[in-house]
Chain A
Amino acid sequence: MPVNICVLAKQVVDPEMPAAAFRIDPDARQVVPPPNIPPVVNGFDENAVEAALQIKDEQGANITVISSGTSFALDVMKKPLSMGADELVLLQDDAFANSVDSFFTVQLLSSAINKLGGFDLIICGRQASDWDNAQVPLGVAETLGMACITLGKKVDVKDDKVVVERLAPDGFEVVEADLPALVTVSNELGQPRYPTLRGIMAATRKRPTVWTTGDLDLDDSQLEPRVTLHDLFVPVREQDCEIIEGDDDADAARKLALKLREDRII
């Protein structure tokens, strides 16, 4: 039986954009998407797609990617399909514009997962590179009452169990759970594969399922925000760096060492 896998993926502003292109709108309390720099699929979520594809390569799987957000760039969000995922479900509503409140996002995603009939395994990136909340996967696991394993660097499915190599500060642990389960993965999983030409062609033909809040069974209490964003600002870096000059690089290095000695740091 192919494993029925769901991957949660988010569209984010490109975190690799030049620092100078990073702008915020303080009144709207939002980051201004940089012009001419397209958004990307959150990096850790691409790791999650890769983890799902490795299981598909090994034993067969049907992979559904679900994303909630607003202003989707369809060619960007189709990337997981061109890597080899099977279905794409977009939860699209202007109400998702400010995703600082993970609670709301979790209600939507959990409701969509239920509507799709549930999955054997849900794989998510550890956190999104925009709000760095690292809450949504764990919230989905709690809301759906699933076993939850975080920070995987390797994910296998064996005999109705998921077996995960989980990062620890001094190495890793091997953790297993009966399916259904939710696993978050980190960049240590390795580089996600590139889309193949065949994959890109196949993705072009696929049409995502698009749902709005109204398509999901949610009550008022689930839609009520749990967190309020009061302010968003760019922190001031106050350090005045003293550039150590020398006749050449080696001389500058010697002067640096003397400076550190003088300051009693070494």
Chain B
Amino acid sequence: MADATGILVLGDAPAGELAATAQELLAAGRTLADTLGQELSIGLIGSDLANAPQQAIAHGADKVYSVTNPVLADYHPDLFLSAMQTLAGEANPNIILIARNNEGRELAPRLAFRLGVGLAQDCLEVSADASTGKLLANRPVYGGSAVAVVSCNRTPQIAAIRPKTYEPLDADAARSGQVVAFPVEIDSSMAKTRVVDVVKEEAEGIKLEDARIVVSGGRGLGGPEPFAQLEELANLLGGAVGASRAAVDSGWVPANYQVGLTGKTITPDLYITVAISGASQHMAGCSGSKAIVAINKDADANIFKDARYGVVGDWEKVIPALMETVRELTQS
């Protein structure tokens, strides 16, 4: 077998549009490909990819595999894995990049074990060594208290990249690339699990992940009632409300409010934390925020190490005054 070469991004195209995570992976992959002088390809998995292959080329891909089958219209881990495994065998890449989003959390480890290779999990940064072809990955460990630098010992070297850590490249419609049809033979009998019901618990208003301003509450709020005030502040600012794991575990707000290592990753322009201590597990979900404001009565709280502005005080007095001033400022 020829030596493994090239960088293969695995992505999808919900509703025929190249996923934002795939754009981010292409940006990371482009740098690796240029460093190594190797090709950047992307495997797009779905049933109808519409214009996504052209979008992928505009975002940096040299080659697009249209990995299609009608049963890939909806995400199913067993079917997507089978398609990915087939493509990895055919493309024989040196490096595979996959998003550590909700799907990638299960796909990346399973793909690595299926191929008998190592996985650099939840990476914040990847680089390549031009002389050895090795991928080096920085990944947070111990809830973000430390960073490990790891490499994979076999090819394909696989890295799962945390969403929103790479900025997509600007789309360049003039870029050229090759689109390869890659129909895969899979059928729904390969699925070992069945989704029998889907229950939506979407919070009203702006989605937490998309909000430009987020107001989050933590353990120090002491109960569910104060979240009504945080909602009011978020509404005033046109933002959304989040929470720390402590607040979710206490049952004060639903699980989908959780920001952090095991919750949502957010990158708002402004992140206001109220009575949140700033454990590294929480910061893992919000460290990409442009500005963090900390409101906490404990001057030694960790959150002040990550904040641009801090108020050491009692949230019960700070929040109403903050709202009043915001009202004056935004209505004048």
A-side residues, CB < 8 A to B, are: 13, 15, 19, 22, 24, 29, 31, 100-103, 106, 126-127, 129-135, 138-139, 141-143, 146-151, 153, 163, 167-178, 181, 186-188, 191, 224-235, 237, 239, 241-244, 248-254, 256-261, 263, 265-266
Contacts and interface: CB of A to CB of B under 8 A. Distances in A.
A108 to B, nearest CB: 14
B198 A135 contact: no
Contact of B255 (A22, A153, A237, A253): A153
Contacts of B330: 266
Contacts of B196: 163, 174-176
Given A102-B109, A237-B305, A230 B149 contact: yes
Contact of B148 (A178, A231, A250, A251): A231
B113 A103 contact: yes
A138 B140 contact: no
Contact of B201 (A24, A170, A227): A170
Given A226-B117, A230-B149, A134 B304 contact: no
A260 B305 contact: no
B34 interface: no
Closest 8 CB pairs of A and B: A226-B118, A249-B313, A147-B192, A250-B321, A257-B325, A253-B321, A171-B201, A249-B317
Interface in B307-332: 307-314, 317-322, 324-326, 329-330
A22 B213 contact: no
B100 to A, nearest CB: 9
Interface string B89-120: 00000000000001001100110111011111
B294 A241 contact: yes
18 contacts: A19-B280, A102-B119, A103-B112, A103-B118, A129-B142, A130-B142, A132-B261, A135-B119, A141-B110, A150-B105, A173-B198, A175-B195, A177-B194, A226-B112, A235-B140, A237-B306, A242-B309, A263-B291
B282 to A, nearest CB: 12
A126 B293 contact: no
Interface of B: 77, 102, 105-106, 109-110, 112-114, 116-122, 136, 140-154, 192-202, 209, 213, 237, 245, 248-249, 255-256, 261-262, 264, 269-270, 280-281, 290-294, 299, 302, 304-314, 317-322, 324-326, 329-330
Contacts, number: 259
A260 B293 contact: yes
Contacts of B152: 226-228
Contacts of A253: 311, 313, 317-322, 325
Contacts of A142: 109-110, 113-114
Interface of A is mostly: mixed
B35 to A, nearest CB: 18
Contact of B318 (A106, A226, A250): A250
B109 A134 contact: yes
Contacts of A130: 141-142
A126 to B, nearest CB: 7
A132 to B, nearest CB: 6
B102 A168 contact: yes
B195 to A, nearest CB: 5
Nearest to A135: B109
A229 to B, nearest CB: 6
Contacts of A173: 195, 197-199
Contact of A149 (B147, B193, B299): B193
B251 to A, nearest CB: 9
Nearest to B326: A257
B77 A148 contact: yes
